[in-house]
Structure 1
Amino acid sequence: MRDYLKPTLLIAPLLLFLAVAYIVPFLGVVSWSFTLPQPGIGNYTSAVTDPLIISVFVRTFRICLFVTVFAVIMAYAIALIWVRGTPTQRLIAELCILIPFWISVLTRAFGWVALLSNRGLINTWLTQLGAISEPLTLVRNEFGVILGMVHFLIPFAVFPIASAMRSLDERVLLAARGMGSSRTRTFLQVFLPMTAPGILGAAIMVFVFSLGFFITPAILGGGRSVMAAELIYLRIFQSPNWGLGAAISVLMMVIVGLLLTLLMRYARPKSMLS
């Protein structure tokens, strides 16, 4: 057996599993989008012209954009501590990154409801302190959705940023400091640009993940901040309009595919994962 065939045979079961588990069902969804309730492209026409669907797409991208910005900023700060902090700081940062992976998304969402609802801990404390006279509306709106999604996605954004930070050549930073550059200037003009691939990779990863969020927006949005994934669920299981739901799903997959192509093209994932 030729040497180059051995790796192919090793990954063949994985490729077969992925094809059966993902590609075949997706092709079925594509088929629904063109055949239900009648053959044609009517579902795609509705998806790009219906004001309700367009408003959901706009809300989805707006929320995902805010989530991406806030999550990446916070993840950058955590990654900086994790990579360049003292041993104690690194341990605390590592715990903050890893512990959330042990808690389900459903538990986190209901935890935020307990904190942010009108009778939740935050409103109760603020009322008892006399800071507010009426409860603040912190859930069943976009604010609650964004907060819950940012909390969930920060750990995912940390890893590509931390990988980019670890791959830096320390000699470049020492050279900048040796030439009289201040810490702030070195960070802004040397360190930050050199970690840009990790930032871009984290941003695209968070944006792609947030596009498909369902549980967190459904619970914290309370049906008032419907995102694309929830709309697909409503169209398939409650309307029902399987063809339109399938068309929206295909459009979302196309968008995710374009974003992943952008990641592979510009973020240099091999260098981030090295």
Structure 2
Amino acid sequence: MGGEVSVTVAAPDRAAGRRSPGQDGPPLSDDPGRRRRGVDGWGLLILPIVAFLLLVLVAPLVLVLARSVTDPQPGLTNYADFFGSPVYLDVLLNTFRISGLVTAVTLLLGFPYAYLMTLASPFWRGVMLVAVLVPFWTSLLVRTFAWVLMLGDAGVVNETLIGLGILDEPISMIRNLTGVVIGMVQIMLPFAVLPLFATMRGIDRRLVQAAEGLGARPIQAFWPIYAPLTLPGVAAAALLVFISSLGFYITPALLGGPQDMMLGELIVEQLSGVLRWGFASTLAVVLLVVTAALLVLVSRIVSLGKLVGDGR
């Protein structure tokens, strides 16, 4: 008939892996081999990264582990010496004690500081953030030497306290636990403030305002409502500070005394002092295993993905 128009719709030729000429988009393909070749091609791109990580991370660890059981003779002699000596075990326990104390003090200082950052105006929040980060960008060795000058018997702190009449004579704040904790806390404070601030910034303050609107005092609204919501940030900060503190060497070496020796100092002493490379490797393996065990223990209690900000 004259009024009719014949329309023909061309279906995609799926068997041949092609689309009809009038259709947009990439050609269809049901070829499993082609998809596998595409995945293999992308997989080849990560091989240099994997090789690099194996070279700079895994290979040194394997060498350290091998040396701990082969130097000076094959066997577990180095491990027997470590676990059989109360002196070395005391150093290990002292490492945990100092790291735990530093973590506690850092959280006590970092929590209110991070909370004030959430309350401050954008300008003052930036000032507070810079105050935390500027020391973080300074050399650790320089900061530790600065504390030696400030905390010494003739240092700025003692001279100021004596000048104000608070002290009659200088007090010892270096070559002891006090100096070690002060130096390590100042270094680790950014590692606590930043996770705490990131967590607190994501908390809806209207929850606290609602509680205050219902008659709760500010302190009553803060602890049962706001504080529990900060626990992921507190856990992340505590884990980061504690694990980082386990491997400290420079700060306790310069600010502490023999009674405050940590495992990192003992490793350096064994390497440079008595040249016991095998025993130093054993100490490094013990520190690594203890840190890994701590991470596994924490992962059983709280999801590590949540600690690093993964919301899944």
TM-score, normalisation: structure 2: 0.80
* 8 A contact 2:67–2:281 mirrored in 1: yes
* Match 2:291 to one of 246, 256, 274: 256
* Match 1:89 to one of 124, 135, 142: 124
* 8 A contact 1:117–1:139 mirrored in 2: yes
Larger RCO (CA within 8 A; separation ≥ 6):
1
Distance 1:103 1:236 in 2: 27
* 8 A contact 1:33–1:247 mirrored in 2: yes
TM-score, normalisation: structure 1: 0.91
* 8 A contact 1:263–1:269 mirrored in 2: no
Aligned length: 274
Q: Is residue 217 from structure 1 mapped to residue 252 from structure 2 by the alignment? A: yes
Identity value in percent = 36
Once the two structures are superposed, the pairs formed by residues 6-17 of structure 1 within 5 Å of their partners are 11-17=46-52
Partner of 2:242: 207
Q: Which moved more, 1:15-24 or 1:67-76?
A: 15-24
Partner of 2:145: 110
1:258 offset after TM fit, Å? 2.1
* Match 1:153 to one of 174, 188, 191: 188
Q: Deviations over 1:105-163 (max 9, x none)?
A: 01100110111011111122233344333321100111100100000000011122122
* Match 1:119 to one of 142, 150, 154: 154
User: Could you tell me which amino acid in structure 1 is paired with residue 82 of structure 2?
Assistant: A
User: Could you tell me which amino acid in structure 1 is paired with residue 101 of structure 2?
Assistant: F
Partner of 2:31: none
* Match 2:267 to one of 212, 232, 237: 232
Once the two structures are superposed, the pairs formed by residues 1-274 of structure 1 within 5 Å of their partners are 11-265=46-300, 266-270=302-306, 272-273=308-309
1:231 offset after TM fit, Å? 0.2
Distance 1:69 1:7 in 2: 46
Q: Which moved more, 1:221-230 or 1:34-43?
A: 221-230
Distance 2:303 2:127 in 1: 28
- Which 5+ residue runs of structure 2 have no aligned equivalent? 1-34
1:236 offset after TM fit, Å? 1.8
User: Could you tell me which amino acid in structure 2 is paired with residue 45 of structure 1?
Assistant: A
Distance 2:178 2:289 in 1: 27
Distance 1:8 1:260 in 2: 30
Distance 1:149 1:205 in 2: 13
Deviation above 4 Å: which 4+ runs of structure 1? 1-12, 262-265
1:11 offset after TM fit, Å? 4.8
Distance 1:10 1:192 in 2: 45
User: Could you tell me which amino acid in structure 2 is paired with residue 163 of structure 1?
Assistant: A
Distance 1:136 1:10 in 2: 60
Report the CA distance shift for 1:272/1:28 in structure 2 as closer, same or farther (over 3 A): closer
Distance 2:42 2:230 in 1: 33
Q: Deviations over 1:23-68 (max 9, x none)?
A: 1001111011111111111211221221211111121111111100
What's the Cα RMSD here? Answer: 2.2
* 8 A contact 1:144–1:221 mirrored in 2: yes
